[in-house]
Amino acid sequence: MNHIEIASKGKNHWWRYLIMVAVSLFGAQLLGGIPLGVLIAYKIKSHPDFQTPSNSMDFEAYGIDPILGFILALIPFVLSLYLFWVLINPIHGRRFTEVINGTNRIRWNRFFRGLLVWGGIIAVLSVLDVFVIEPGNYSLNFDITSFLPLLVVALLLLPVQTAFEEVLFRGYIAQGVGVLTTNRWMVVIIPSIFFALMHGLNPEVFKHGFGIMMLQYFLIAAVFALVSWFDDGIELAMGAHAANNIFLSLFVTAEESALQTPSVFKVIETNLYKDFVMLFVACLVFVILLTWKYRWNISHLVKDSKIRMR
């Protein structure tokens, strides 16, 4: 095992983690969000009778082209990932790739397998939902002139957004928790709680309530953390997270979604409990398929949850 253990070779003073998170997450998000913030402020000032939309990410309500708004909303994550890549070595004495899997190279085959497996699972479940389970709950929203630029933006920028979140939570914070607790269950649980809380200001949380949405965020975060534990690296989770956001942005959106895009379908009314069951099924199938592919001995891994720092 390398991924968590490698962190013990670096510099792990608490203030180093504070600086990294403050700069690469909060600082980069604030700085990168300036263009979108300025544009929104300009649009509001230009319309004295403007009424704030219920979904703060509804760019069309501000008079902003949804593709432009989508691009501007993703720019902070590009800056976050870049700053993380620049700072990890001088602050912690670790290479960027060591945060991903504890070695000096990225296992790209893992990334693409995670992308294809998770993407395939949610594609099948979504098609079943649209055409079999609740066909009356979706309206066709397809417009080729909007969809093609959306496709380009989603494929180019969403993997950067999701890569940063995976590197930060399943990689960096997981390593810090591992150094502190030397327990892999804590590496799964604590970063997953942070991941869920980071999404606490998403529009769907205000619409549907904190508890049920935090449960969904925690579930997917914990499953990605478990897969990262079993595979000794976060590439599978990186690919799956990228597939998740790309597919949702292209295929289906909802009025309260944080991903406001001109997708193929739009949900008329969100059924949270059905969505949670479908997410649970997707997570279960994901773990089963990867366990079969990589021959993980899960019972042995779970029993040996002690992290032996170098």
Residue type, 128: L
pLDDT by 10s per residue, the chain, length 310: 789 999 988 899 999 999 999 999 999 999 999 999 999 889 888 877 777 766 667 788 788 898 999 999 999 999 999 999 999 999 999 999 999 999 999 999 999 999 999 999 999 999 999 999 998 999 998 899 999 999 999 999 999 999 999 999 999 999 999 999 999 999 999 999 999 999 988 888 888 888 989 999 999 999 999 999 999 999 999 999 999 999 999 998 887 787 778 889 988 888 888 999 999 999 999 999 999 999 999 988 888 889 887 6
CA distance 257 to 62: 16
pTM for this model (two decimals): 0.94
Give the residue from 122, 179, 144, 155 showing the smallest Cα distance to 263: 144
263: number of Cβ within 10 Å? 25
Angle at 117 between CA 113 and CA 122, to 5 degrees: 145
Is 156 in a helix, a strand, or coil?
Answer: helix
pLDDT at 96: 97
pLDDT at 185: 96
| Tokens at 284, concatenated | 């279960």
Do β-strands 138-140 and 252-254 pair in parallel, antiparallel, or remain unpaired?
unpaired
CA distance 237 to 223: 9
Non-local CB neighbours of 86 within 8 Å, separated by 6+ positions: none
pLDDT at 63: 85
Per-residue DSSP letter, 3:
T
